[in-house]
Structure 1
Amino acid sequence: MTRSTEDVHPNEQRTGSDTSEKQLCQPPTLESLPVMSPATTKVEDRELDWPTGWRPYAALFGCFLLMFTSWGLINVFGTFASYYSESLFRGDDLLLSNLIGSTQCFFVLFFSFIVGRLLDANYSRQLLLAGSIILTIGMFMLSICNGNGGLNQGNYGLTWLTQGLVAGMGMACFFVSSSQIAATWFHKRKGFALGVVACGASISGLTLPVMLRFLITSQGFNNAVRYVTIVVSVTCFAAVLLARPNPAHTFRKPEKWTSTRTWVDTSAFREGAFCCFTASIAALFLGFYCVFFSLEEWAATKGIAHKGVPPPGGKVTLSTYWLLSIMNGCSTFGRLSSAWLCDKYGALNVHMTVTTVSSILCLFLWTFANTLAPALVFAILFGAFSGSVIGLPAASMAEVLGPEPDRQARLGHWTGMMYTAAAPFALVGPVITGHLVTKYETYLGVQIWSGLCLLLSAICMAGAIFFRRRKGTTSCSNEKV
């Protein structure tokens, strides 16, 4: 039986607070995060490195599937955008096709504060079931709204509505849920567990572009989308059965759902670490997915790779979708390795480092990649480091909160508010870069834009580290007094 943090006896809260003040004297890492469970949970259970039984690992696989069908589909959108520009909406401004993908990002992020709060109140099952139904409907409707799916047969309004708005709202139910449900089971190995969950997006981005392009060529666009919809619906409903939170986790059900404080925790905005890290995620989404949405068209424009049938002469042998698949596939390594590193060195430290490296790759390696070899090097390296960049926000927010159980019970709430604040930036970033490409007929603007946004994100992360350490130093000083 669960109880809210407000119901915990004051003596119990005080004991947890005293312990946390001592822990803050040491550099915070994800290994130090304790179990968020009622006081009746045994101490030895809280100290286990890995949870026992099959339920935690079944939930972890279910969360992997949730990420596969949410952020994974956003990673795949570059293949959709490439087909839209070459066939369905040929000749249109690239900002229009990018707007569909950025709309998905916007809704996934914007509704995160609602999803996060509902998760903290133990409504995960209802969220996942609703998301499965909405996403399946959106993807199926995409397969019937563009005529035969041929040259200039696309209906842009309906495509934006089904793929951008409806599918995006369904994916919004999964994104925060995937990390928060897994976090209720894995406490001392939280970073690694979240890394495994994040790999769902990279595996989706590795397999679905290849599947989609092959099926478009052999079966046509509409049938290809229907097959993808079948895969998505099966993984969604499997996740509904498997992804269940730990019943021993502390859930916070509000007294009144109509209160503004139920949805927005204003205390978060009084903490410098939260504000700086939220600003860093906003800057991140302003430029991050511009790379994924533009990669295939950039490679085709440069003559580095081809779309459809290889050109005569055999000089260009690689299909554009392979670059996107390679980038997404390599992100699996980044997500897992960074999760392991953040358990040792702290999520914020690792997050800032990989974001800085990703910025350098965009500003220098991508801008000078004019042949296949450096393009492949960029896809591999950026994929590895960007996987860490996009896979660590939840783990970094857990570190921002600190190890106290009552604060960790707000992880879904604070993570949701962070993503919601970043939603408008995720919407406008790809639209701006798409228009820059159409107007100036070069991808240099995309490369510089993405690199500078990632650099700004790393700087803001440094600010979050500063405030987090200052808070730890202040707590230690007060304890000595």
Structure 2
Amino acid sequence: MGAVPPFLLYALALPVGGLLDQGHHRRLNICAAVLITSSLSSLAFTNSHHHHREAGGGKYYAVLLCALPLGLGQSIFFLSSSHTARTWLPRRPGLAIGVVNAGAALGGSVFPLVVTSLTNAHSFRVAVLALAAIAGAQSIFVVGFAVAHPQHFRPVKHAASATPCCGSFLLCWRRRQQQQQQRLLRAMDDKAVMLFTAALCVVFAGILSIPFYLPTWSSLLLLRPPHHHFQPSATPTTNHRNSNGGGGMKISLLTILNLSQLPARTLSSLLTDHVRARHLHACVLLAAALVLPPFWLRLASASASGGAHPVEQGTAGSTVSGDDGGGQGAVTPAAAYAFTVVYGILHGGIVALTQNDLQEVLVARSARSAVGRPRERGRERCGSALVVAGEVRDSEDSEEGGELVGEYGQLSGLVYTLASPFMLAGPLVCGRLVDTVGVKGVGIWAAGCFGLGAVVMGVSLFVDGSVGKNKRSLARVVGDRLSQQPRVSCGDVSG
């Protein structure tokens, strides 16, 4: 159930990205604000009346129904934030995405603490309603100020046909859909784009494994004191969690995991202004694949030898433990904290570099499509649109950087949508591995996904013919060229 909002976030990226390319930033942000605020407010009333601190109260279908609009709203804000930030910093695309990633990491560190504190002090309903109020206040700010820069963003304009559409809205809509499908089909014909999409699919299959099962790994295997038998409860309450010390440790580890991503997300995005994003991303993935198995398996094995070995593993938080073996090899909380910090740094780099990779792949595709194509005289480029005698027309063959500016949302949404099913399938596979081989299987699965993703991404680098010719970041080169182009009035950004 926890993977449903991330799955929807990426699955709906294609239609949302197309609307962003057309300049509907403000309209989409209004829709996202309503969806997120209403879904969180509805989630607050799903808990039972008798257990005020119990999250959901066992009403799983009601919680899932509230998660659907939440995922849609998150998808809009996720794409709109990076799409808008790039227009304000055209020469520093890495810095723009780094600022967005830093805000996401900071929010992931603060909000769990706020919700947990309010739940312990008052109730689950009060905590979620407070979170909904904070989200609503932030949404008002986003709707009012988060708009694309009118000088650096050119909304996609579709070519006007020779015959008028006779006022038929359906005919115009169908023509636009055909043009959009043609652009997407041309992108899917590019081998480098498809190889990068395959690499992203593999990475997405394992990216949620460790964050989802870190509390289970810590509380059920690592952080039990010697000679302590964990007795599962059918309806665990907050007092029960506090009595065995697991609840506070879970929140601490998740907070440290998100907080350690803050410098990693920022620095990795900043580095892409000077080096190639996919080179850096492949190195980070390879490092995670090499570091994760020794840390995860060694700590889990040491904890199991210390006596806290699970006999029957079900869902996170329900485990029957065996006999203690004296606690000689029990792992200390310091070791768990150290592992969380190391993995948080690597995880932050993996998450942040995905958007920078997309910029680089799409710019390289535009550069390859422009090779050998002479520039037409008497015409000026404006994003992905072609300005001819004051009339804006769609360009089938954009120059280098055109699709980065004018069709970034649509093409990046295509990649995200194709990779979204793996985001949902990864936690399901990990759940099956936990039931069969234990929590160790989660670390092996994540390391395998990261290693295979690094290999496939390396193959995409070799297939991309323009990668090794210039050591400078492709996105930075195109940003410099776009910022030096003369300003051509293409109309105000709607929405």
TM-score class, shorter-chain normalisation, is: 0.7 to 0.9
TM-score by length of 2: 0.71
Q: Deviations over 1:77-114 (max 9, x none)?
A: xxxxxxxxxxxxxxxxxxxxxxx221111111011011
Taking the aligned partners of 1:462 and 1:410, their CA distance within structure 2 comes to 25
Conserved in 1, the CA contact under 8 Å of 2:222 and 2:336?
no
Taking the aligned partners of 1:469 and 1:377, their CA distance within structure 2 comes to 41
- The residue that corresponds to 1:282 in the other structure is 201
- The residue that corresponds to 2:409 in the other structure is 412
- Which has the larger displacement, 278-287 or 396-405? 396-405
User: Of residues 116, 128, 141 in structure 2, which corresponds to 1:213?
Assistant: 116
Question: Is 1:105 the equivalent of 2:6?
Answer: yes
- The residue that corresponds to 1:399 in the other structure is 360
User: Of residues 359, 367, 381 in structure 1, which corresponds to 2:342?
Assistant: 381
Query: Which structure 1 residue ranges, 5 or more long, are not aligned?
Result: 1-99, 475-481
Q: Deviations over 1:449-480 (max 9, x none)?
A: 11111111111211221122457769xxxxxx
Q: How does 1:81-480 map to 2 (within 5 A)?
A: 100-148=1-49, 149=52, 153-163=57-67, 165-248=68-151, 249-254=153-158, 256-258=172-174, 259-262=177-180, 265-304=184-223, 310-311=242-243, 319-369=249-299, 370=303, 371=331, 372-402=333-363, 404-408=400-404, 409-437=406-434, 439-440=435-436, 442-469=438-465
Q: SS at the partner of 2:273?
A: helix
- The residue that corresponds to 1:92 in the other structure is none
Q: SS at the partner of 2:88?
A: coil
Taking the aligned partners of 1:434 and 1:390, their CA distance within structure 2 comes to 22
Structure 1 position 305, deviation (Å): 6.9
User: What letter matches 1:224 in structure 2?
Assistant: A
Q: Deviations over 1:381-408 (max 9, x none)?
A: 1111211111122211111122613221
Q: How does 1:57-72 map to 2 (within 5 A)?
A: none
Count of aligned pairs between the two proteins: 371
Identity among equivalent pairs (%): 27
Conserved in 2, the CA contact under 8 Å of 1:109 and 1:419?
yes
Q: SS at the partner of 2:147?
A: coil
Conserved in 2, the CA contact under 8 Å of 1:121 and 1:254?
no
Taking the aligned partners of 1:335 and 1:468, their CA distance within structure 2 comes to 25
Structure 1 position 194, deviation (Å): 0.5
Q: SS at the partner of 1:144?
A: coil
- Which has the larger displacement, 351-360 or 419-428? 351-360
Greater helix proportion: 1
Taking the aligned partners of 2:86 and 2:154, their CA distance within structure 1 comes to 12
Conserved in 1, the CA contact under 8 Å of 2:207 and 2:446?
yes
Structure 1 position 154, deviation (Å): 2.0
Taking the aligned partners of 1:468 and 1:456, their CA distance within structure 2 comes to 19
Aligned-residue RMSD, C-alpha? 2.3
Change (3 A) 1:317 1:239: closer
User: What letter matches 2:150 in structure 1?
Assistant: P
Change (3 A) 1:244 1:317: closer
Taking the aligned partners of 1:329 and 1:150, their CA distance within structure 2 comes to 26
Taking the aligned partners of 1:200 and 1:428, their CA distance within structure 2 comes to 27
Change (3 A) 1:139 1:277: same
Change (3 A) 1:441 1:229: farther
Structure 1 position 261, deviation (Å): 3.9
User: What letter matches 2:413 in structure 1?
Assistant: G
User: What letter matches 1:424 in structure 2?
Assistant: P
Q: Considering only CA atoms, is the larger Rg found in Structure 1 or Structure 2?
A: 2
User: What letter matches 1:119 in structure 2?
Assistant: L
- The residue that corresponds to 2:323 in the other structure is none
Conserved in 1, the CA contact under 8 Å of 2:5 and 2:71?
yes
Structure 1 position 436, deviation (Å): 2.8
Change (3 A) 1:317 1:143: closer
Conserved in 2, the CA contact under 8 Å of 1:192 and 1:340?
yes
Taking the aligned partners of 1:113 and 1:363, their CA distance within structure 2 comes to 35
Conserved in 1, the CA contact under 8 Å of 2:4 and 2:424?
yes
TM-score by length of 1: 0.73
- Which has the larger displacement, 449-458 or 359-368? 359-368
User: What letter matches 2:425 in structure 1?
Assistant: V
Q: SS at the partner of 2:208?
A: helix
Q: Deviations over 1:334-377 (max 9, x none)?
A: 01111122111111111111111122232221222242222212
Query: Which structure 2 residue ranges, 5 or more long, are not aligned?
Result: 160-171, 226-237, 304-330, 368-399, 471-495
User: What letter matches 1:376 in structure 2?
Assistant: Y
